[in-house]
Amino acid sequence: MIQKILIANRGEIALRIVRACRELGIKTLAVYSEADVQSLHVQLADEAICIGGPRSADSYLRADRIISAAEIADVDAIHPGYGFLAENAKFAEQCESCNIKFIGPKSKSIKLMGDKAVARETVRKAHVNTVPGSDGPVESEGEAVKIARKIGYPVIIKAVAGGGGRGMRIAHNDVSFAKEYHVARNEAEKAFGDGRVYLERYIERPRHIEFQILADSHGKVIHLGERDCSVQRRHQKLIEEAPSPFFTADLRKKMGKAAVRAAEAAEYENAGTIEFLVDPKGNFYFIEMNTRIQVEHAVTEEVTGIDLIKEQIRIANGDKLDMDQGDVTFTKHAIECRINAEDPAANFAPSPGTIGLYYPPGGPGVRIDSHIYSGYVIPPYYDSLIGKLICFGSTRKVALERAYRALSEYLIRGIKTTIPLHKAIMADPLFIEGKATTAYMEEFLTRTTPDLFS
């Protein structure tokens, strides 16, 4: 039985994991950097060990120090949260070989899905629709341009080691393809030490839909429905909601089945997400799998009533899933606004510093997952997420009205945040109508003057 867990992360997700452990009666060990001494997760965990300097490379990315802390404190398992080492197959393997449970998939599945060309091939063989594209990485410019013509322009060039939008280039004809192909290869080599790229037909103005899945260690896989993550800027999601406003029960059933097949093909275990693009006609295409718990998991928790962090821990413990697909119901609508320490009126410049007054909203249908408090100093070393506002109700309309109301109550002084931007989006007719695609944010920022969201 898992009795003690090391939380290899910081911020709101570290706090979220502490909370799940508390309810399960599991002891927690926080590891933290010198910049996070004052962090809530450090104060709320049963034990805490400092693992290094402020920079991630000196602390949260130091697998050696984290595993040493795990051994000193005699934990049974490590929860990696998201980011940092969460999708590092080598770290998962190190945990496995040190007899510490990694709360996530087996290193084999992380590796498989980490190679985006192998991931594509694996799910395609399991009859999951992928975007028309190359069979695996392209070998040379000559071969690549032939394949691009065959696919038909526009074509998107993606890094095999990429994901999440990093290292992608779009080409509209042979001439731009030759240029973008080399740019993509060089960028991929620099960013990932792996210059290999593959090609896909570029789907214009798609919706970004992901399916949450749960898989236990006894071979059972279920899905918990979709999240619509179309509202994003530079591949950073800003708003996620479920159900997707344009979905039908039929599409959910079809895509859910495809998501389960994709997870089964990876012999997946624990919580994971299958990402799809959906075109305006409702055609859907697998693009990649995220082998971790995600920032936006709380949306699914509010819609289904299932605690995903607890499920992750139970699965790592070897327990069987105690629900079948038919037991999963989607009774509510939930929407998440990511609250970042950024100035949306100044091109989203980071805004670290000391929180003055802090007053979070409450009342019916409002959930806040945040590690900040009055007097807390946001360090400049990490990502800018300082909280998530999740609002929910029986219908989308109620959830949106609650979100607008909660955002109006939310007071964070001393720094700039994305709260005013979210308020403007919640009041935008296009968004309210449920028409947002991945092109939405750029268009919104072009047609709206910054004083409306500062």
Catalytic positions are: 292
Q: Closest separation between CB of residue 68 and ligand MV4, Å?
A: 34
Contact (Cβ atoms closer than 8 angstroms) between residue 197 and residue 158 = yes
Q: Which residues pair with 331 in a beta bridge?
A: none
- Restricting to residues 208-247, name those near ligand MV4 by CB under 6 A: 208, 232, 235
Residue 440 in contact with ligand MV4, rule: CB under 6 A: no
Beta strands at 358-359 and 333-340: parallel, antiparallel or unpaired? unpaired
Quick check: helix, strand or coil at residue 36? Answer: helix
Q: Closest separation between CB of residue 20 and ligand MV4, Å?
A: 27
Q: How many residues bind ligand MV4 (CB under 6 A)?
A: 18
Looking at residue 130, the DSSP 8-state letter turns out to be B
Q: Closest separation between CB of residue 187 and ligand MV4, Å?
A: 14
Identify which range of 20-28, 117-125, 198-206, 213-221 contacts ligand MV4 by CB under 6 A.
198-206
Identify which range of 74-82, 99-107, 195-203, 371-379 contacts ligand MV4 by CB under 6 A.
195-203
| Calpha distance 397→106 (Å, rounded) | 40
**Tokens 């410019």, residue located:** 141
Q: Which of 165, 280, 375, 380 binds ligand MV4 (CB under 6 A)?
A: 165
Q: Which is nearer to ligand MV4, 272 or 414 (CB)?
A: 272
Distance of CA 445 to the CA centre of its chain: 23
Q: Closest separation between CB of residue 89 and ligand MV4, Å?
A: 19
Sign of CA dihedral 16, 20, 25, 29: negative
Q: Which is nearer to ligand MV4, 49 or 293 (CB)?
A: 293
At residue 266's C-alpha, the angle toward residues 20 and 240, to 5°, is 50
Comparing C-alpha atoms, which of 18, 15, 19, 47 is closest to residue 31? 47
Residue 397 in contact with ligand MV4, rule: CB under 6 A: no
Query: In 10 A of CB 410, how many CB atoms?
Result: 21
Identify which range of 36-44, 94-102, 105-113, 197-205 contacts ligand MV4 by CB under 6 A.
197-205
Q: Closest separation between CB of residue 155 and ligand MV4, Å?
A: 8
Q: Which is nearer to ligand MV4, 129 or 325 (CB)?
A: 129
Quick check: helix, strand or coil at residue 98? Answer: coil
Q: Which is nearer to ligand MV4, 284 or 358 (CB)?
A: 284
Q: Which of 12, 187, 275, 302 binds ligand MV4 (CB under 6 A)?
A: 275
Contact (Cβ atoms closer than 8 angstroms) between residue 231 and residue 239 = yes
Q: Which of 202, 330, 376, 381 binds ligand MV4 (CB under 6 A)?
A: 202
Identify which range of 106-114, 201-209, 213-221, 382-390 contacts ligand MV4 by CB under 6 A.
201-209
Q: Which of 5, 18, 75, 156 binds ligand MV4 (CB under 6 A)?
A: 156
Comparing C-alpha atoms, which of 446, 451, 408 is closest to residue 430? 446
Q: Which of 3, 98, 127, 164 binds ligand MV4 (CB under 6 A)?
A: 164
Identify which range of 64-72, 84-92, 203-211, 238-246 contacts ligand MV4 by CB under 6 A.
203-211
Contact (Cβ atoms closer than 8 angstroms) between residue 104 and residue 77 = no
Tokens (6 digits) for 193 = 């030490």
Residue 200 in contact with ligand MV4, rule: CB under 6 A: yes
Q: Which is nearer to ligand MV4, 43 or 130 (CB)?
A: 130
Residue 82 in contact with ligand MV4, rule: CB under 6 A: no
Q: Which is nearer to ligand MV4, 38 or 283 (CB)?
A: 283
Residue 438 in contact with ligand MV4, rule: CB under 6 A: yes
Identify which range of 10-18, 23-31, 82-90, 161-169 contacts ligand MV4 by CB under 6 A.
161-169
Comparing C-alpha atoms, which of 122, 120, 209 is closest to residue 160? 120
Residue 287 in contact with ligand MV4, rule: CB under 6 A: yes
Long-range contacts of 235-240 (CB under 8 A, 24+ apart): 235/164, 235/165, 235/166, 237/295, 237/296, 237/338, 238/337, 238/338, 238/418, 238/421, 238/422, 238/425, 238/441, 239/335, 239/336, 239/337, 239/338, 239/422, 239/425, 240/295, 240/296, 240/299, 240/335, 240/336
- Restricting to residues 42-61, name those near ligand MV4 by CB under 6 A: none
Q: Which residues bind ligand MV4 (CB under 6 A)?
A: 131, 156, 164-165, 168, 200-203, 206, 208, 232, 235, 275, 277, 287-288, 438
